Structure 1
Amino acid sequence: MTPGENSFPEQGSEEAAAQAEVAIAAFKFLSAVYRGDLIQAWGYMHPILCLCWAQAWVEANRESLIASGHDPERTAHALASSAGGNHELWEHFARVMLHEMREAFPLDPDVAGIGANLRAVALDTELLYVHPLPPTSGVWEPDEFLEAYPLVMNLNDDRWTVLNWGYDAIPIPGFPPILDGASLGND
């Protein structure tokens, strides 16, 4: 093979391999969520996102949880660290969270695509755009607008994890958690 003939410069192939790693991890998460398997999706999520999702669910169900004897903060932390969905409320939590994600950000992972360019958000944190549908012509046209959902990925313990889905912000745990970054800087 001659230089330039179906080959990448070494740096280009390393960058492509790194981008592929991020995209593969993202698709594993998306496939699990859209197949309805939050336990598997949990394994691809960053602990901060797990906590934020648990806190959001707990906040939405605060009164009924307190009435049934659950401490909201402990419940959120227990759900977030629930290995294999072993918490007594996991089934209810998973059903609601999966429904909300699929309703808010509808897509079929078998058809969806991820933009080729990674965008650095912070150290070891990349922003991807997930396109639910391919372009109608099959080819991306200049200035063509297609719906896309942001997905923030973070290199955590030498593996790429989902730090946020549907929002381009780094989530902040709390009651309520901040997933969309809307209230950041509004003090």
Structure 2
Amino acid sequence: MEPDDEDIAAYAAQHAIISAAWKFVEPYWVDHDVRAAWVATHPTLRLCWAQHWLTPMRAQARADGLSPDAVVEAFTADEVDHPLWEPFERAALKGATLPVTRETWGIKANPEYLAPDVALLRLLPTPTDGVIRPGEQYMSVPLVMQYEDGPGWRLLNFASEQIPEPGWPPRLGADGG
């Protein structure tokens, strides 16, 4: 069966968001490169992820002469240049344990919209025949994506369907607060 114009338009509309999700998924879970994955994340996720990591160490950061707010603010940049980046990166990689490859994992098409500019995708192992049937149960990792003019789609949260909220501690959902 040949795809019709509507099918082609639907695929084209989803291509941008799925490609943007892979810009995080591949560096993080395949290459274990947090710095490369970082540029695909939304600044809100960067802030919340850094706050989540630093929350139990805020008193020590202050004792070391660091402002916790200044540390996490530095982490919102695309290119982080901060002495605490390496410890953060090591801690972040402890969560990168999924055996993801492009050959064995995929991102489910037809995103669910949580808000006009926020969509929920799902990263999942692909069945051997490549088809997920209606009603079939499968394990998946939520990927919350946000669209903004300029940068386009970026990862707003993962492993949770919650839109993250900065704070001490931040609200990330799932096991991330």
TM-score interval for Structure 1 and Structure 2 normalised by the shorter chain: 0.7 to 0.9
Aligned to 1:51: 47
For residues 13-162 of structure 1, the aligned pairs below 5 Å read 13-34=8-29, 35-81=31-77, 83-100=78-95, 102-103=96-97, 106-110=98-102, 111-131=104-124, 133-136=125-128, 138-158=130-150, 159-162=152-155
Q: CA deviation at 1:84?
A: 2.4
Q: CA deviation at 1:141?
A: 3.5
Aligned residue type for 1:98: L
Task: Report if aligned partners of 1:150, 1:168 keep a CA contact under 8 Å in 2.
Answer: yes
Structure 1 vs Structure 2 CA RMSD: 2.0
5+ residue gaps, structure 2, are: none
Say how many residue pairs are matched.
172
Q: CA deviation at 1:140?
A: 2.4
5+ residue gaps, structure 1, are: 183-187
Q: Distance in 2 between matches of 1:136 and 1:13?
A: 24
Q: Distance in 1 between matches of 2:75 and 2:134?
A: 44
Q: Secondary structure at the match of 1:85?
A: coil
Match of 2:172 among 170, 174, 179: 179
> 4+ runs of 1 displaced by more than 6 Å?
none
Q: What TM-score comes out, normalization by structure 1 length?
A: 0.83
Q: CA deviation at 1:175?
A: 0.7
Aligned residue type for 1:91: E
Structure showing greater radius of gyration is 1
Task: Report if aligned partners of 2:61, 2:67 keep a CA contact under 8 Å in 1.
Answer: yes
